[in-house]
């Protein structure tokens, strides 16, 4: 489902005082055509994807945790007797700032023996992430903001949740709506069924978390924990955190580009006007961006 994004900036307490404003009047995200979605997973192989497992070198996956089978990108632990403490993440190198990112995922089977209790039916979308190539060998999590994907409940009453979870990734954000599991969950047909998760990100200003069309959280003020500098852009990563997970669709719409209505490359759903905008296709090009180097401490 392509959602209608009725975005509002919420009042942020005593330090910040923003007036409630609707952004839809100027940017109608409901009219994004299917053709605008760029598919990041080709359904055939891991071309364009890189990965990091804690304790391993860059792009080393000795137990074949990541696989492409039957048109699905799979996080699988069939070669594990017990989980070995290797938190895994996989990402492409493109750097985005304003966008809508979506995955269609399902959890499968049982959690890997030895996995932590909180990792049961757990995965995550790590946005504004550093590239996998910049992570240290024993680094567990990339510098990033995490939209944490969870499924809970019994076989008869399963639910899906999307939370903010950034405690392990050395970043901070401000929560503007209740996003706890008991108050912001959606019912799903059965445990481990397919769910569509979407994250609308507008630089360091706002992120809206959506499951199957329902908004479950709005967050703002994304910052680096040590010095408070804003996190404005980065890569997008997914997780391998002990519970087998399938992904059948991974896609994105960049909201940066030409907003001149008289131009041939005008798009009505764009948010930020940059006529010559081009995403950074490689980490080396991204590293030429001084702001990113400061954020990622490179």
pLDDT for 83-94, tens place per residue? 989 999 999 999
Q: What's phi and psi for 284, nearest 5 deg?
A: -65, -40
For residue 15, pLDDT beyond 50: no
Helix (H, G, I), strand (E, B) or coil at 262: coil
Whose structure tokens read 């481990």?
192
The CA–CA distances, whole Å, from 290 to 244, 284, 285 equal: 37, 12, 11
CATH topology classification for 33-295: Jelly Rolls (2.60.120)
**Residues facing residue 187 across a β-bridge:** 159
- Sorting pLDDT into bands at 50, 70 and 90, what band is 6? very low
Mean pLDDT, the chain, rounded, equals 82
Helix (H, G, I), strand (E, B) or coil at 73: strand
Q: What is the Cα 47 distance to its own chain's centre?
A: 19
The β-bridge relationship of strands 272-273 and 256-257 is parallel
Q: What percent of the chain has pLDDT over 70?
A: 79
Q: What percent of the chain has pLDDT over 90?
A: 50
Question: Are 195 and 160 within 8 A, CB to CB?
Answer: yes
pTM for the whole structure: 0.85
Q: Average pLDDT, stretch 231-258?
A: 95
- Sorting pLDDT into bands at 50, 70 and 90, what band is 103? very high
- Sorting pLDDT into bands at 50, 70 and 90, what band is 13? very low
Residue 66 contacts by C-beta under 8 Å, 6 or more apart in sequence?
A: 46, 49, 51, 73, 74, 75, 88, 90, 240
Q: What is the per-residue pLDDT for 29?
A: 61
């Amino acid at each position: 489902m392509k959602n209608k994004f009725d975005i509002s900036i919420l009042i942020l307490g005593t330090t910040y005082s923003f007036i409630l404003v609707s952004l839809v009047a100027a940017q109608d995200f409901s009219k994004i055509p299917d053709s605008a979605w760029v598919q990041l997973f080709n359904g055939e192989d891991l071309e364009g994807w890189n990965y990091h497992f804690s304790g391993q070198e860059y792009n080393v996956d000795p137990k074949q945790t990541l696989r492409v089978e039957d048109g699905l990108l799979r996080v699988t632990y069939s070669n594990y007797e017990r989980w070995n403490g290797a938190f895994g993440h996989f990402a492409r190198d493109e750097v985005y700032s304003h966008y809508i990112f979506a995955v269609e995922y399902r959890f499968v089977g049982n959690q890997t023996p030895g996995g932590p209790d909180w990792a049961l039916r757990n995965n995550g979308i790590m946005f504004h992430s550093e590239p996998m190539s910049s992570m240290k060998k024993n680094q567990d999590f990339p510098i990033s903001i995490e939209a944490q994907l969870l499924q809970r409940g019994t076989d008869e009453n399963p639910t899906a949740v999307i939370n903010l979870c950034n405690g392990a990734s050395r970043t901070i954000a401000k929560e503007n709506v209740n996003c706890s599991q008991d108050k912001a969950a959606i019912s799903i047909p059965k445990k481990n069924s397919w769910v569509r998760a979407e994250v609308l990100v507008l630089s360091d200003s706002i992120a809206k978390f959506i499951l199957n069309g329902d908004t479950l959280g709005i967050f703002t003020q994304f910052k680096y924990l040590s010095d408070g500098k804003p996190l404005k852009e980065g890569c997008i990563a997914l997780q391998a955190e002990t519970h087998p997970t399938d992904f059948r669709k991974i896609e994105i719409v960049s909201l940066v580009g030409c907003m001149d209505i008289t131009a041939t490359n005008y798009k009505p759903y764009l948010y930020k006007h940059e006529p010559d905008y081009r995403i950074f296709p490689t980490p080396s090009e991204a590293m030429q961006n001084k702001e990113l180097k400061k954020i990622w401490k490179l």
